[in-house]
A = this chain, B = another copy of it.
């Protein structure tokens, strides 16, 4: 089988504009490798820049959902969307952030029925409702989230992260994006 990372080729760190080279360099420094999503999106620096900005605005936010909960939304919706890159890469991050080596595999294989505490369940239910059949998303979905104690800001977080990964999942499907080898074993 081929080792192709993206159907549209990759742009290596040193080929990126300076601001992106620096920014992705910091991530690569921490992880020890450049996540393939950045190599694939590097083909279009303006889009990579906006992607990073959107990602950081939602995934690095300190208020509201915990970091692990943010990754829970990503892994649940990416599992439902059958997005291999996001399941493998964010599965790794979820293992690390949740300190639970099994959670990602259980969430991604069946987000609808994975056993979670009440708050986790409410987060995942809300995310799936918006991710999967979004034309039907409505007041009952919001009411269930509020009943489980989610604040308006937390609901926005769940919804906006779900929306961002509706995009990311499709970018990964578009490019047939290959997860970096390193992700598979992280946090196990």
Interface residues, chain A, CB within 8 Å of chain B? 1-2, 7-8, 43-44, 46-47, 49-51, 53-54, 56-58, 79, 81-84, 87-88, 101-102, 105-106, 108-110, 112-117, 130-131, 134-138, 142, 152, 156, 159-160, 162-164, 166-171, 173-174, 176, 179, 181, 184-185, 188
Contact A110 B130 (CB under 8 A): no
Most chain B CB atoms below 10 A, which of A84, A169, A173 = A173
B residues within 8 A CB of A179?
102, 106
B residues within 8 A CB of A87?
105, 109
Closest A-B pairs by Cβ, 6 of them: A82-B135, A50-B54, A159-B174, A163-B170, A50-B53, A46-B57
A179 to B105, CA, bound (A): 11
Residue of B nearest to A53 (CB): B50
B residues within 8 A CB of A7?
142
Residue of B nearest to A48 (CB): B57
B residues within 8 A CB of A110?
82-84, 135
B residues within 8 A CB of A159?
170-171, 174
B residues within 8 A CB of A152?
8
Contact A81 B181 (CB under 8 A): no
B residues within 8 A CB of A109?
79, 82-84, 87-88, 108
Known: A108-B109, A160-B44, A163-B170. A1 touches B51 (CB 8 A): no
Contact A50 B47 (CB under 8 A): no
Extra 9 A-B pairs, beta carbons < 8 Å, given A8-B152, A50-B54, A166-B166: A7-B142, A49-B57, A50-B57, A83-B134, A84-B113, A106-B179, A113-B138, A115-B176, A130-B174
